[in-house]
Structure 1
Amino acid sequence: MSSEGTLRYTSAPHRREAILRRVELDGYVAAADLVTDLGVSANTVRRDLQKLAEDGLIRAVRGGATAAADASAPPFADRSVQAADAKRGIAAAAVRHVEPGTTVALDSGTTTLEIAKLLPADAGLTVITHSLPAIAVLAPRPDITLIGIGGQYGRDTRSFGGPETLAALEQLSVRTLFLAATALDGSGVYGATPYEAETKRRLISVSRRTIVVGDARKFALSAPIRVCGWGAVERLVTDGVPAGFTGVRVELVS
């Protein structure tokens, strides 16, 4: 880095503004990278991250920072009771696409939790998930090989995320991914935060096929981060779509 660039970041407000831009763009920033890029000490970076976290602008995690949780996203417990019947119907339809003897990945979400409850018995399945509720449901089942993906725990989503989660997912291979969404529209699938979106993208990248599960309300909701277009998805299992929707093959449940 040039001396001019280094001098720019001797000001704490300038440094913190630069850190926020990095988190907003990438969803995650490593503290070690900030030391190099900003030309300051590790202690300075640590103080900057602590201050930004205290102000609610980022979430400090081991080794760096991620985007703060979206305050507009309702907590998991609230979402779990919304459209409960529709979610159970969607889950029942979705599990029919599970092939015996294969590896299934469950994204974090209330509909994917319903899928976890309905996975067929004695089908020789391996299940990968970073969702703590899904892990709790599947852990007692001796007929399922469970791979729980850890990392930084997010209480709002009741799931794990962060660099450890992404690194672990990169080493895996999945036959069928059941992907949740904060919102849906004609162009694709959306998530609430950059880092949530990156976890979903990593799941898609290691899966041979992706099935999106979400109730019709998701088309009336909005979220800031586009996860993927419909071209990355095999089908959408839902209880309703807007008139004229042609983004992907739709499996409607009543």
Structure 2
Amino acid sequence: MQAEHSTAELPQLRRQKILLILERDGKVMASELSQHFAVSEDTIRRDLSELASAGLVQRVHGGALPRPKDTGKDYFTRVGETDEVKTRLAQLAARRVKNGQIVIFDSGSTTLQIARSLPADISITAITASPMIAITLAEYKGITVIVAGGQLNPVTMSSSGHETLRLIEGIKADLVFTGVCAIHPEVGISSLHFDEVPVKQAMLSSASHVIAVTTADKLGAVEPFVVAPCNRVHTLITERHVASGNVEDYQKLGIEVVQIDA
């Protein structure tokens, strides 16, 4: 970024331009914005704080990152939405499941769609902390379903706590489909819900292969609670068009990136 402004602009106009830069680059740094707009870093930090208070950006040390588009939607709202892209992502992910495998299904609307997209004659052992996913998987004659019980979070419709962790930590799975609130190449996988963190960490540690399936709006985003670094993911399945950042940032970390066509 190079300095292009000899005088300070109106704050509202400057903040609008910051949002455009954020959409283009996937992140913004206060030091670079200060030079770009020819204002102090304190001024830029106030701008970023105002944008964060309005829910438009996620503040991080030294700058800001995008917010996921669906933050704040409850579970049943997300499950009830018809999303062709999410369906196609789930269908592609479901093809990764092979007969005889032990597969962990994390909670989430996309993971639920993966469960619905499995072949009718698949034969696996499935573990999940989501009652909704467990019910869906139970409809398959060839799937043995193990439910990791615990305290149910009505927002995420998944269980957590000591009992949930104890069961998951005692399993060595072939594959895990991890739910994604946000994933950033530098910050890693992060969640909006604190109680999800240890459960997700246990799932990542219990499987030989980790697959993250997500729409493009969650790439380059950050939520308050960090789960794990990005390189804990082996395969990332996402859209062809990525608005924030670049899939090459994930490939450089050794992640296999698979994209569906537009």
TM-score of the superposed pair, with normalisation by structure 2 = 0.66
Contact 1:151 1:161 in 2 (8 A): yes
Matched, 1:191 2:175: no
**Unmatched 5+ residue regions in structure 1?**
1-71
2:19: which partner in 1? none
- For residue 256 of structure 2, the aligned residue among 246, 249, 253 is 249
| C-alpha distance 197-83 of structure 1, shift in aligned 2 (>3 A) | farther
Contact 2:102 2:125 in 1 (8 A): yes
Q: Could you say what the CA RMSD is over the residues aligned between the two structures, in angstroms?
A: 1.7
Per-residue Cα deviation, 1:3-40 (whole angstroms, up to 9, x for no partner): xxxxxxxxxxxxxxxxxxxxxxxxxxxxxxxxxxxxxx
**Unmatched 5+ residue regions in structure 2?**
1-70
1:107: which partner in 2? 106
Tell me how many residue pairs correspond in the alignment: 183
1:60: which partner in 2? none
1:137: which partner in 2? 136
1:78: which partner in 2? 77
Q: CA deviation at 1:221?
A: 4.5
Q: Which residue identity lines up with residue 111 of structure 1 in the other structure?
A: T
Per-residue Cα deviation, 1:122-148 (whole angstroms, up to 9, x for no partner): 332111111111111112322111111
| C-alpha distance 222-81 of structure 1, shift in aligned 2 (>3 A) | farther
Contact 1:108 1:129 in 2 (8 A): yes
Distance in 2, matches of 1:221 and 1:73, equals 14
Q: Which residue identity lines up with residue 78 of structure 1 in the other structure?
A: T
Per-residue Cα deviation, 1:174-199 (whole angstroms, up to 9, x for no partner): 10100111112222211112320111
Identity score, percent: 31
The range that moved more, 212-221 or 177-186, is 212-221
| C-alpha distance 83-182 of structure 1, shift in aligned 2 (>3 A) | farther
Determine helix, strand or coil for the equivalent of 2:85: helix
- Where do 1:159-238 residues align within 5 Å? 159-187=158-186, 188-219=188-219, 221-238=221-238
Contact 2:178 2:210 in 1 (8 A): yes
Determine helix, strand or coil for the equivalent of 2:211: strand
Q: Which residue identity lines up with residue 115 of structure 1 in the other structure?
A: I
